[in-house]
């Protein structure tokens, strides 16, 4: 219980820092939302092959881990593989007690780093809140991906991400978490 309190406090402090003197406030869940404990790392491997502006991949069972890998033809064509640190994070996850969410958001190049501020359970959906404090000034899009380990597991239907971009306000996107649309698009690109 003490760890949960400490993590909740740390998350609140991070969010408070995120909202100070910004053009827009970072979105956050309601106080009564079922907030979950989580850890996160940068996930550059995902941004190396993701074709859409924003998205999410859900890994709630061992046979879902392949969703975090680039399709084989893409990995060969672009000479890609999952980075060692990211692979260790995935391999160190007990998928009988936790789940993984790979999230990718797109903002202008030169934006501050995307920070995952909260992860909540919303019915059968895992809802991730991502904040970018300051948006870059150019119009070139840049992917930022994060890999989130959620310290709880349940049968989820999809992933919803609320992405707060300092200059543009709040965007929300939904994903079934399979990454199938991206894989299908790559299949079309490579055929």
pTM: 0.79
How many other CB atoms are there within 10 angstroms of residue 186's CB atom? 20
Q: Are 72 and 111 in contact (CB under 8 A)?
A: no
The per-residue pLDDT for range 97-134, each reduced to its tens digit, is 999 999 988 777 777 788 899 999 888 889 999 888 77
Which has the minimum average pLDDT: 54-63, 130-139, 156-165?
130-139
φ and ψ of 32, to 5 deg = -85, 0
Mean pLDDT of 180-186: 74
User: Which of the residue ranges 79-93, 114-128, 154-168 would you say has the lowest mean pLDDT?
Assistant: 154-168
Mean pLDDT for all residues in the chain: 78
- Euclidean distance between CA atoms 188 and 83, whole angstroms: 26
Alpha helices in the chain (DSSP H): 2-19, 44-47, 72-78, 84-91, 180-190
Q: What's residue 167's pLDDT? A: 58
pLDDT at residue 99 in the model: 94
Banded model confidence at residue 168, pLDDT cuts 50, 70, 90:
low
Please check the confidence at residue 17 and state whether its pLDDT lies above 50.
Answer: no
Instruction: Say whether pLDDT at 51 is over 50.
Output: yes
SS3 66: helix
At 2 the pLDDT is 43
* 135 and 168 Cβ atoms separated by less than 8 Å: yes
The predicted pLDDT at position 7 comes to 40
| Contact (CB, 8 A) for 111 and 132 | yes
- If pLDDT is split at 50, 70 and 90, which confidence band does 166 have? low
- pLDDT at residue 42, as a whole number: 93
Distance CA 55, CA 160 (A): 9
Q: Which two tokens stand for residue 12?
A: 């609140």
Which band of pLDDT confidence, cut at 50, 70 and 90, is reported for residue 18?
A: very low
Q: How far apart (Å, rounded) are the C-alpha atoms in residues 115 and 135?
A: 13
pLDDT classification of 16: cutoffs 50, 70, 90? very low
Count CA atoms within 13 Å of residue 146 on its CB side: 23
Beta pairing, strands 158-165 & 169-175: antiparallel
């Amino acid at each position: 219980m003490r760890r949960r309190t400490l993590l909740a406090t740390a998350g609140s402090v991070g969010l408070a820092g995120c909202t100070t003197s910004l053009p827009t406030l970072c979105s956050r869940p309601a106080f009564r939302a079922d907030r979950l404990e989580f850890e996160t790392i940068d996930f550059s491997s995902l941004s190396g092959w993701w074709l859409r502006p924003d998205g999410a991949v859900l890994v709630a069972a061992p046979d879902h881990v392949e969703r975090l890998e680039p399709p084989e033809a893409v990995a060969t064509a672009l000479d890609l593989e999952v980075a060692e640190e990211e692979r260790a994070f995935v391999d160190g996850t007990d998928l009988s007690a936790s789940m993984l969410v790979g999230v990718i958001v797109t903002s202008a190049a030169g934006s501050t780093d995307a920070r995952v501020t909260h992860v909540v359970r919303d019915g059968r959906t895992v809802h991730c809140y991502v904040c970018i404090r300051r948006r870059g000034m150019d119009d070139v899009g840049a992917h930022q991906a994060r890999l989130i380990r959620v310290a709880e597991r349940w049968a989820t239907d999809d992933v919803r991400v609320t992405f707060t971009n300092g200059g543009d306000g709040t965007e929300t996107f939904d994903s079934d978490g399979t990454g199938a649309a991206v894989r299908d698009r790559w299949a079309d690109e490579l055929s």
